[in-house]
A = this chain, B = another copy of it.
Amino acid sequence: MGEARRTRARGGGRKSRLAARAHPARTIVPYLTRKLPPYELLSEAGLETIEQNAETILEEIGIDFCNDAEALAIWKDAGAAINGQRVRFPRGLCRSLIQQTAPTEFVQHARNSARSVRIGGPHTVLAPAYGSPFIRSLDDGRRYATIDDFRNFVKLTYMTPALHHSGGTVCEPVDLPVNKRHLDMVYSHIRYSDKPFMGSVTTPERAEDTVALAKLVFGNDFVAENVVTIGLVNANSPMTWDGTMLGALKVYARHGQATIIAPFVLAGAMSPVTVAGASTQILAEALAGMAFAQLVRPGAPVIFGAFASSISMQSGAPTFGTPEPQLVLYVTAALARRLGVPFRSGGALCASKIPDAQAAYESANTLQHAMLAGVNFMLHTAGWLESGLTMGYEKFILDADQAGMLQVLADGVDMTETGQAMDAIREVGPGAHFLGCAHTQANFETAFYRSNTADNNSFEQWEADGAQDAAQRANTIWKRMLDEYEAPDIDPGVDEALKDYIARRKAEQPDSLY
């Protein structure tokens, strides 16, 4: 991507050559395996206090399970106290339900098995941003997103080795009817990529459509036994799970598919303003949601999701890249580890409207800390602008470059003899230079991460090249990538079956705006 490329080649191996040029000598891996210990920012005693306080919330205050009589009945059977929609839980019940049956890590299969990902433990999976109704590019400025944009981001993600997962609603295709667009989104993930993908959660029927389409790709028997899609199930913080999200949760869980059980907290509005308070509430909400999934189907894979932002106490607007949410990230990651479930958080979060310095500081401040916290599934790794309202083409490219750097960080320090490099130091000695020494010659291809968006040239060369900023360079890159994109192969029979299913489902209902 970052390499000059003037001529176009054709042929079967082209995509892999392109990928190799993008990150010349670094191994392409389907997901990261961290060799770094997670950073334990808060003491054991502090974490225990938060866990006890979360149990107090569950026992004394309770969690609302709204507009879902079945959910209340399930909880009653499990021994919880029901009062209206309020569910109160005996201390330790939720934790025990989760620890008895929820997997500590699991594989989400991709239709290309080489791209299947392992979620949990020391593994980290990076996925693009999710949910923006707008897109921004240097060419178009800001405008509503369309299905063409959606396909573009699926394609760009497919071509980006540092992103391991195709994501879900990479942007909202607002040109399509609300009640049908999920079919086109899921199809795009399947057809234009072969990386794993997320499904629809906006109604139980759309979640069922997601699983039905996946069955056409993977086969009924395989889907019955394996995770092939993930649903993002957000809490209505504080302490509320609503019927829509519970409906989607139940569909995914009953099919043995994974869910991210994700409190979504703008601290100060939807949780207390303090780090410990927000983390406690997040834990309580996540415990109730994940335990519910285990009651629906014991063993259903769940991911402890934590999305926390602070807000401007003047305007109420969300803020990103500030230190308080980073602290929440470390605390909740540790809580997930102690519970024994995979953890989702992080991303290139920012409030900036454009891919400027604000966007980059804010994004880096979350990306780097999420990696050290030991995140297992990072949604919003690339593209996020304007507090999630906008998916940026240039921002996507810049963030994806940062995602590549996270791989190197996760690899940690090579302490082999080659890594120790004592031969090089002996060969060169005081006052000389290492450029030509045998060790450097043998290792320079893989020695340093090569950014495809940074300009490291001299000032004079940079000026001669047009004095471009990072966003302008990124603009060139995404256009070249889309120009060079080639879809992965798909079995024509499968493709036909997918199209037939979608056509039938679209014909069954009129277009709708909700």
Contacts and interface: CB of A to CB of B under 8 A. Distances in A.
Contact of A413 (B36, B46, B387): B46
Interface in A250-276: 267-276
A364 B358 contact: no
Contacts of A269: 433-435
A459 B429 contact: no
A272 B434 contact: yes
B351 A469 contact: no
Contact of A444 (B313, B413, B414, B458): B313
Central interface residue in A276, A317, A372, A414, by most chain B CB within 10 Å? A276
Contacts of A369: 368
Interface in A129-159: 142
Contact of A277 (B318, B322, B425, B431): B425
Contacts of A448: 267-268, 273, 310-313, 319, 322, 324
B470 A431 contact: no
Contact of A424 (B272, B321, B418): B272
A420 B351 contact: no
Tell me the number of copies of this protein.
Answer: 2
A76 to B, nearest CB: 18
A449 interface: yes
A322 B276 contact: no
A324 B414 contact: no
A320 to B, nearest CB: 8
Interface in A462-493: 462, 467, 469-471
Interface in A397-451: 398, 402, 405-406, 408-409, 412-415, 418-422, 424-426, 428-435, 439-440, 443-445, 447-451
Interface in A308-362: 310-313, 315-319, 321-324, 326-327, 331, 351-362
A284 to B, nearest CB: 8
